[in-house]
C-alpha cells in the first residue's frame, strides 16, 4: 500500500475504483490520495449527507431534541397537570416548532415518529413548517432499551429490524438525519466489555443502514449521569473506553465519518461527587481530552446531550468547552432536550395565553446556547439555577475512589482510578 501511495504521489500509478474496496484521485498533479470505501463510492447520497452534516454543525447553531417517546412525554406533561393525550403532545410540539426566530439558533430538530406525521392547528405539516424556516428534520429510529443478558442491569437498544425500510420512508417524508441512543452506566464493573461491544456494534450497524438510505446518523453513546461518587477522572476513562470501541465499529462498517454526527455525554462526575469551584472548566478539560483521544477530525460535529444537567449548567459547560479548545477540529455544539424544553414547558403550563411567552423563552434559551457554542455568552441565563434531572431505574454499587491524577494499572478492574489530564488538552 505504501509503495502504491508513493507511486501515485509521483503520478506514475492510479488504480481504478473497481480494483479494490477503495479509490484514489490525483489533484493538480500532486498525487493527493483520497481513500474511499466501495460503500462511499457507490452511495448516491454521499454528497448530500456530507452537506447535511456540515449544515447542522455550522457555527452558532445547535439541535433541538424533541424525540421523547409517548410515555416520556406523558411524564413531562404530568409535571404541569396535563393529560398525556396526542393533542397535548401535538400542541406543545407546535409551540416549539413555530417559535418566531428559532431558526437563527437551531439548525436541526429531532422528532419522534408520531410527531413526524403531525400538523399545526392550521393544517401545516410540522416537517413543512420546519423546512420553510430552513431547519432540518431528524427522526429517532431506535425503538427503546432492553436488558442485555449476562450483565448487571445493563441495556441494549432495539430497532434494527425493519430499519432500512423505515429509513426509506422517513427520507420520503422529509427527514434528512436520524438518531439512535445507546445507554451505558458507570458502576461496579460497568460499563462491562460486553455492553460496550454490543452497543458499539449496534450503533455502527444503525449508522451504516442510515447512510445507505440517505440519512445522516447521529451516533449517541450516552454514559448516563447517575448516583454515585465516582470522579470526573473515572468518567473520562470510561468515556474514552466507550468512544474508542464505537469508532472502531464505525470504521469496520465503513461508515462515512464526514456524513455522521456524534452525540456523546459530557464527562461529568457522579451526582454524589464533590464538585470543584470551577467545575465547568474541569468538565471541559476532561471532555475535550476524551474527544481528542477518540474522535477522528473527519467528523464534522460533536453535539453534546444535556443528559440530566440543568439548563444553566448545560450552557456553562458548553461555553467552557470552547474555552478549553478554541481551535477544535470539530464543531463542539449542543443537542439538548430537557435543557431547552423543561423551562419552556413550565412557562407554558398548558395555557393558550402563555404560548407567546413560552416561545420567547425557547428562543432565548436557544440563543444563549448558540452564544455559548461561539464562546461569547456573558449574560444572565434565562433559566438560572435550574436543577439536574436524575434518570430513574439505575442502580450503582458504592466504589472506592483512588487519589486523583493516578493512572490505573489494571484498566478493566473494578477499582476506582483516574487519568492524568494535561493542563490544556488542545495544545
User: Which sequence positions are flagged as catalytic?
Assistant: 220, 263
What residues does 216 pair with on adjacent strands? 177
Q: Is 140 helix (H, G, I), strand (E, B) or coil?
A: strand
Is 111 within 8 Å of 139 (Cβ atoms)? yes
CA 155 remoteness from chain centre: 18
Please enumerate in sequence order all residues whose Cβ is within 8 A of that of 51, keeping only pairs 6 or more positions apart, or say none: none
C-alpha cell at 365: 434559551
How far out from the chain centre does Cα 281 lie? 21
Q: Locate cell 456494534: which residue?
A: 201
C-alpha cell at 315: 450552557
In order, the DSSP letters of 329-396 are: SSEEEEEESHHHHHHHHHHHTT-GGGHHHHHHHHHHHHHHHHHHHHT---S--SSTTPPP-PPSS---
Of 303, 204, 290, 300, nearest to 241 by C-alpha is 290
H helices present in 276-310, as ranges: 279-294
Rounded distance, CA 275 to CA 272, Å?
Answer: 9
Nearest to 204, CA basis, from 212, 408, 388: 212
C-alpha cell at 41: 463510492
Q: DSSP secondary-structure letter at 80?
A: T
Amino acid at each position: 500500500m505504501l509503495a502504491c501511495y508513493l507511486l501515485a504521489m509521483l503520478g506514475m500509478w492510479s488504480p481504478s475504483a473497481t480494483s479494490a474496496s477503495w479509490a484514489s484521485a490525483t489533484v493538480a498533479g500532486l498525487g493527493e490520495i483520497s481513500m474511499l470505501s466501495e460503500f462511499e463510492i457507490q452511495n448516491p447520497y454521499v454528497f448530500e449527507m456530507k452537506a447535511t452534516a456540515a449544515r447542522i454543525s455550522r457555527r452558532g447553531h445547535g439541535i433541538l431534541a424533541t424525540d421523547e417517546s409517548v410515555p416520556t412525554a406523558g411524564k413531562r406533561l404530568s409535571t404541569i397537570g396535563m393529560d398525556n393525550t396526542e393533542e397535548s403532545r401535538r400542541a406543545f410540539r407546535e409551540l416549539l416548532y413555530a417559535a418566531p426566530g428559532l431558526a437563527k439558533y437551531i439548525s436541526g430538530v429531532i422528532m419522534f415518529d408520531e410527531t413526524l406525521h403531525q400538523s399545526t392547528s392550521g393544517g401545516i405539516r410540522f416537517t413543512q413548517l420546519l423546512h420553510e424556516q430552513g431547519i432540518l428534520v431528524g427522526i429517532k429510529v431506535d425503538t427503546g432499551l432492553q436488558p442485555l443478558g449476562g450483565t448487571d442491569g445493563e441495556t441494549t437498544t432495539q430497532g434494527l429490524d425493519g430499519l432500512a425500510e423505515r429509513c426509506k420512508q422517513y427520507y420520503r417524508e422529509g427527514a434528512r438525519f436520524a438518531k439512535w441512543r445507546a445507554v451505558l452506566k458507570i458502576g461496579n464493573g460497568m460499563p462491562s466489555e460486553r455492553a460496550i461491544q454490543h452497543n458499539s456494534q449496534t450503533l455502527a450497524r444503525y449508522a451504516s443502514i442510515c447512510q445507505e438510505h440517505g440519512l445522516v446518523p447521529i451516533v449517541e453513546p450516552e454514559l448516563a449521569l447517575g448516583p454515585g461518587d465516582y470522579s470526573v477522572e473515572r468518567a473520562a476513562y470510561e468515556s474514552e473506553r466507550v468512544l474508542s470501541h464505537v469508532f472502531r465499529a464505525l470504521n469496520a462498517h465503513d461508515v462515512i465519518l464526514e456524513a455522521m454526527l456524534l452525540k456523546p455525554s459530557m464527562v461529568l462526575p457522579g451526582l454524589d461527587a464533590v464538585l470543584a469551584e470551577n467545575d465547568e472548566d474541569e468538565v471541559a478539560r476532561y471532555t475535550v481530552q476524551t474527544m481528542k483521544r477518540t474522535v477522528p477530525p473527519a467528523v464534522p460535529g460533536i453535539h453534546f446531550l444535556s443528559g440530566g444537567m440543568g439548563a444553566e449548567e448545560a450552557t456553562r459547560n458548553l461555553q467552557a468547552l470552547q474555552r478549553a479548545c478554541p481551535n477544535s477540529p470539530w464543531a463542539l455544539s449542543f443537542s439538548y432536550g430537557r435543557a431547552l424544553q423543561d423551562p419552556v414547558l413550565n412557562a407554558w403550563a398548558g395555557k393558550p395565553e402563555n404560548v407567546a411567552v413560552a416561545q420567547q423563552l425557547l428562543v432565548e434559551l436557544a440563543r444563549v446556547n448558540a452564544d455559548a457554542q461561539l464562546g461569547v455568552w456573558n449574560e444572565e441565563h434565562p433559566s438560572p439555577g435550574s436543577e439536574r434531572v436524575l434518570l430513574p431505574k439505575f442502580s450503582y454499587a458504592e466504589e472506592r475512589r483512588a487519589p486523583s491524577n493516578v493512572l490505573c494499572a489494571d484498566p478493566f478492574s473494578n477499582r476506582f482510578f483516574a487519568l492524568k489530564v494535561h493542563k490544556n488538552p488542545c495544545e
